[in-house]
Amino acid sequence: MRLSALAERLGLVAEGDGDLEITAAASLDAAGPGELSFVTSARWAERLPDSKAGAVVLPAGVDSGGRPALRSERPRRDFARAVALLHPPLQPAAGVDAGASVAPDARVHSEASVGARAVVGARSSVGPRTAIHPGAVLYADVEVGADCEIHAGCVLREGTRVGDRVTLQPGVLLGGDGFGFEPGDDGEWEKVPQVGRVVIEDDVEIGAGSTVDRASLGETRIRRGAKLDNLVMVAHNCDIGENAIVVAQSGLSGGTRIGRRAILMARTGTVGHLEVGEGAFVGARSSVARSVPAGARVFGSPAVAERTWHRAMAALWRLPDALRRLRRLEKRVDGLDGESGDA
């Protein structure tokens, strides 16, 4: 794609040779003469003289060193958009592979793709331009909308509902039983039936190896635009709000509600039946034991307000020195006690 055409598609201003053919996107260190890279600041631009990139995306006022450029207020985002144009995903051919298993009463759109050894169960449906990749399994009564990517090894249990433009990375499990057991009279654990379902709304992406449990009753719901990283565990009856983000290795206990645009960083854990409010931020490795107000920023285990956490961490780093001073004072006090006794 010519640089000028790329600029037009992205709504950016091109500088320099607009006829330059851009064949791919690459990092600044690895890019070649026909490839596009990016810088986000003048400091990063100091690396430009050592780069062979044919063109760069960079902010206004940052010197491109005379090489062709696309000016952007948000270079990282616009570079990502350029990557999507220059490296479109491979779309499997429409149709059902001879090695797939599709129930007679399942409905697979003629523009959809079902790969080898994939399974589409009874009464399930697959929408147009959706790809069910090899080895994915849809149980009975599953609905998957249009333009979805259900990657290899995904399992969608019975009754699961998936909207449009949803991406499930390899190994995602939707609709497994929630963890529900009650002690019986004989001391043995009795399983609580999990008879609800999972609902995934439009434009959601769920990372590899993540699990979303079916509700014990009702629904576990992930709302429009939410993004879950790899290895995230969502328990029964959770509700994750629109455009919320849950980062890797986080776990949400049953009944947790996450508000719109809230962010939970890596290895966050919540106890059940609490709420993280709209736009809240939970720092990495935090343990959330009570509800977090909208817009709040919390850190730590147990999670506390950001200011309190920073003060606690600052005090923690001063603790060894404080202990040394305390020991010196104790020795002085012991010495004074000894002198008093001699007198």
The residues assigned a catalytic role are 236
Q: Which of 212, 81, 88, 102 has the alpha carbon at shortest distance from 149? A: 88
Cα–Cα distance list, 45 to 33, 58, 62, 79, 271 (Å): 17, 8, 7, 15, 45
**Whether 93 contacts 111, CB under 8 Å:** no
d(CA 214, CA 221): 9
The token duo for 63 is 């010197």
Number of CB atoms found within 10 A of residue 142's CB: 27
Residue 256 identity (one-letter amino acid): T
Q: Could you tell me which residues come within 8 angstroms of residue 180 by beta carbon, excluding any fewer than 6 positions away? A: 191, 192, 194, 216, 236, 254
Q: Which of 236, 235, 274 has the alpha carbon at shortest distance from 258? A: 274
Q: Could you tell me which residues come within 8 angstroms of residue 321 by beta carbon, excluding any fewer than 6 positions away? A: none
Residue 72 identity (one-letter amino acid): S
d(CA 299, CA 310): 9
d(CA 125, CA 203): 18
What sign does the CA torsion over 211, 214, 218, 224 have? positive
Angle between helices 75-86 and 3-10 (to 10 degrees): 120
